[in-house]
Chain A
Amino acid sequence: MRFRLAALALLIATVAYGQSQRPERALGVTWSRGTARVSFSAKDLADERVRRELSSGLRKRMEVTVSAHLSGSNWRMGVRRFGCDVTRDLWEDGYLVRIGDQSERLKTLEQVLDRCLVVQGLFVGEPKTYEPQKGRDIYFAVTAEFNPISKKQCTELIRPASGGDPVGPISVNIVRRRICKAERSIVFRGALLKVPE
């Protein structure tokens, strides 16, 4: 019993520490038809190096993940993720931005960053996500990543050597996680707010 209590206390402390490590930033949250709509800017993801990479002519990816959490918890109630594939067109000036199945051509990098990293009224979750949490404190967390290598591509790039050694596949999996993580990422959270009754 004492052990379980100690483990629970340790878990709570770890969660609290993890939450406190995320810097807080102003997020615009409105409620529409029982669902939260979140607005924010993650343009600071694009530092000097990111801007240079985006202008290289190679296809680069930016991913934004917004998640809703109960206060004091890391469990994701609701999550929304979207990604931009950005390619600077070396043949014609401008940038080709692809979001999902939609493609559009933008003239400047600033327009690209506004399109991909400035979010306006993004639906996060569904009404049933918030229904049981009415009146409770929640917060939204944002993770913006530059150029994470997709799992599929990562698996194709880094493969274990053929052979029956047990070390290879385990090590390769760990290495994949390190190698294929985003080249740059920023994480922040909004202030606590109550789910409307």
Chain B
Amino acid sequence: MSRFERKILFAIGLSVFLALGGSIFLAQGALRDVYAVGVNERFGAELVHGVEARRGQLMALRAGSDQVADAVLWAVEAELARSRSVSRLEGLLGELLGRYEVVQSIRLIDDADQILARAARPPDPVGDALRSTIRERETGTGARKLRIAVEVSVPERYFERLQEAGEVADAYSRLQRQGASVSDVYAWVFGVLAFLVILVAFLIGAIVSRRVTRRVTDLAEASRKVGAGDLTVALPTGARDEVAELTMAFNEMVRDLRDSRTRIEYLQRIGAWQDFARRLAHEIKNPLTPIQLAAQEMAETYTGEDEVFQKKLFQARAIIEEEVATLRRLVGEFSAFAKLPRADLTPFDLCELIESIRISIPAVLEDVGHGTAAPVEVGLSCATAPIRVRMDPMMLKRGVDNILRNAIQAVYQDHPTGGGRVLVHAYQREGSGFIEIRDNGPGIDEENWDRVFDPYYTTKAEGTGLGLAIVKKVVLEHGGEVRLDRAPEGGARFRIELPLMESR
């Protein structure tokens, strides 16, 4: 992982975890406040009071039922004391039963557990469930000992309500006691879930950011390579974003650098060859005249009688004169190559240049045909006029003439009786002006496409190998490029590309 990636991930992590910590802190405070509103001492105290009230109600009911039981007992005791007979109690017991609702039954029992008198409320199958208890008191009529048992009751629901109230108060009391920890639990559960969500978001963010940072680190690595001199670097552009634009700009910059370096290297090489040609021309040119003069003198001053020798002497003079003439032509071409001036660029129309070439075609055809016009069809055309570029018309015309002459020669050799065609076409596309020269000749093998522009490389018997080198030098000095490939017609296709004036 690069430092840049680490920094990006650190920034993402820092921001998300600061957000997480802050949200937990705030959530904890908010939850405590909210919890304190819902679960507070006042409500708890009121619930406890409610329980106490229900308990008090029960105790009051009990006290009331005790008093009722006592009243019943006293009434029965008083009746026994008054009448001294239990047989007349039934009416009183029924009356007491009707008077006190809490009394369920009244029994008068002797010491042998015999029920002497009894009154009981009939069971109510649809009424409330009751909880009963029996209050007893001993009494006596004469020598007999009697017991009066009064069953008093209270509805069961009072106990159930007390229990329910107690449980609610109990639970509330627990919630109250656990108040801080409950809100903490909520905060921490929220925190853990938020952490998991953030962790997933962080991982996704890391993966997504890694795609961006990887491209940036690739750019950095490619820049280091370019800095070290490797201009073959090219990066994939991928998505449409600022990094892709940066990558495209980088690729374009590297391509420009590579082209510039190639151009500079080529021009340096051409410069060296020009220097070599100059010295070679100088060294060869000087002895040619003395050699030719010496040969002529030897042939002309021979006064001997030997006719065979004289004949050989004249033959030798002819050979020497012919070779000297060839050497003079070579020296002339070397000298011309060595003295090739730098291009002087001015605005000019490519179509106009094409027209100027048209004038010289008949002479070229005649020269190639050795006196008679070679049967080669030459077409010149211009797609849209004008195609304005900055150029040195004389030098560029010379370059195009060189290629055209080579094309006519090649086509003529391949089709000596006619049928050969050469097309010169000018057009513009994507900020560049083009001159395309193509033919239906034998073409050039692909492995030689790069070498043909090297000085002194030639496949012709009488060639010097300087023509295409001059073309390339001229085109490079125009800030352009010349390329060779195969023409649709099967022959060679040269394309000279020059920057349009508008694109500068």
Contacts and interface: CB of A to CB of B under 8 A. Distances in A.
Given A90-B55, A91-B154, A175 B163 contact: no
Q: Tell me which of A59, A90, A170 has the highest count of chain B C-beta atoms within 10 A of its own C-beta.
A: A90
A160 B55 CA distance: 31
Contacts of A14: none
B131 interface: yes
A46 to B, nearest CB: 17
Given A167-B193, A178-B181, A90 B163 contact: no
B185 A90 contact: no
B182 interface: yes
Contacts of A91: 58, 62, 131, 133, 154, 159
B326 interface: no
Contacts of B182: 175, 178-179
Interface string A160-197: 00000011001100110011100100000000000000
Contact of A179 (B59, B174, B190): B174
B195 to A, nearest CB: 12
Given A57-B55, A58-B166, A166 B193 contact: yes
A158 B55 CA distance: 25
A174 B185 contact: yes
A58 B154 CA distance: 17
Interface residues of B, number: 25
Contacts of A56: 55, 166
Nearest to A92: B133
B62 A58 contact: no
B165 to A, nearest CB: 9
Interface in B175-196: 175, 178, 181-182, 185-186, 189-190, 193
B167 interface: yes
A174 B55 contact: no
B190 A167 contact: yes
A6 interface: no
B62 A171 contact: no
Interface string A49-91: 0000000111100000000000000000000000000000011
Nearest to B174: A179
B162 interface: yes
A178 B185 CA distance: 10
Nearest to A59: B163
A147 B170 CA distance: 10
A149 B166 CA distance: 13
A91 B212 CA distance: 81
A66 B299 CA distance: 142
Interface residues of A, number: 22
Contacts of B190: 167, 171
Contacts of B181: 178
A180 B178 CA distance: 11
A57 B162 contact: yes
A183 B170 CA distance: 10
A175 to B, nearest CB: 5
Nearest to B168: A157
**Residue of B133, B154, B171, B181 with most partner-chain A CB within 10 A:** B171
B178 A167 contact: no
Given A57-B55, A91-B58, A179 B171 contact: yes
A91 to B, nearest CB: 5
Tell which of A56, A91, A147, A180 has the most Cβ of chain B within 10 Å: A91
Interface string B115-139: 0000000000000000101000000
Contacts of A149: 171, 174
Nearest to A179: B174
A171 B154 contact: no
A34 to B, nearest CB: 42
Given A57-B58, A157-B171, A178-B182, A167 B189 contact: yes
Contacts of B131: 91
Contact of B189 (A58, A59, A170): A170
Contacts of B166: 56-59
Contacts of A170: 189, 193
B157 to A, nearest CB: 13
A165 B55 CA distance: 41
A171 B189 contact: yes
B171 A171 contact: no
Given A91-B131, A171-B185, A58 B167 contact: yes
Kindly name the residue among A58, A157, A170 whose own CB sees the greatest number of chain B CB atoms within 10 A: A58
19 contacts: A57-B166, A59-B166, A90-B58, A90-B59, A90-B162, A91-B58, A91-B131, A147-B170, A149-B171, A170-B189, A171-B189, A171-B190, A175-B178, A175-B182, A178-B178, A178-B181, A179-B174, A180-B174, A183-B174
Interface of B: 51, 55, 58-59, 62, 131, 133, 154, 159, 162-163, 166-167, 170-171, 174-175, 178, 181-182, 185-186, 189-190, 193
Given A58-B170, A178-B185, 16 more contacts: A56-B55, A57-B166, A58-B51, A58-B162, A90-B62, A91-B131, A91-B159, A147-B170, A149-B174, A158-B171, A167-B186, A167-B189, A171-B185, A174-B185, A175-B178, A178-B178
Nearest 10 pairs of A and B residues by beta carbon: A58-B166, A171-B189, A179-B174, A171-B186, A174-B185, A92-B133, A157-B171, A90-B58, A170-B189, A167-B190
